[in-house]
Amino acid sequence: MIPLLIVIDVIASLTLILFILLHAGRGGGLSDMFGGGMNTSLGGSTVVERNLDRLTVAAATVFGITSVFLALLLKP
């Protein structure tokens, strides 16, 4: 059980880092590299940002839950 939680925690942390780096900040961030900085008249970038926000929250929730469970299971 503990090795599985460790693997899930590492995967969640790496995806969380990736999603945070993809967010467009003041300077644009890495999302400009993948076309996230283009302005469209259809408003497609706002939908992409909203979905990226949801994915980031989901990854953060998984990371937080697995971290708490690991802390409780590995407590001496």
Q: What would the pLDDT profile of 3-38 be if each residue is shown by its tens digit? A: 999 999 999 999 999 999 988 766 555 656 666 555
74 within some domain: yes
What lies within 8 Å, CB to CB, of 45 at 6+ separation is: 36, 38, 39
Q: 10 Å Cβ neighbour count for 63?
A: 20
Give the DSSP letter of residue 65.
Answer: H
| CA atoms of 48 and 56, how far apart (whole Å) | 12
For residue 4, what pLDDT is reported?
Answer: 95
Assigned domain for 36 exists:
no
Residue 66 pLDDT exceeds 90: yes
| Structural element, H or E, at residue 7 | helix 2-22
- On whether residue 52 sits in a domain, the answer given is yes
DSSP string for 18-37: HHHHHS--SS-GGGGTTTTT
Look at the chain and report how many structural domains it folds into. 1
Domain that holds residue 6: 1-24+45-76
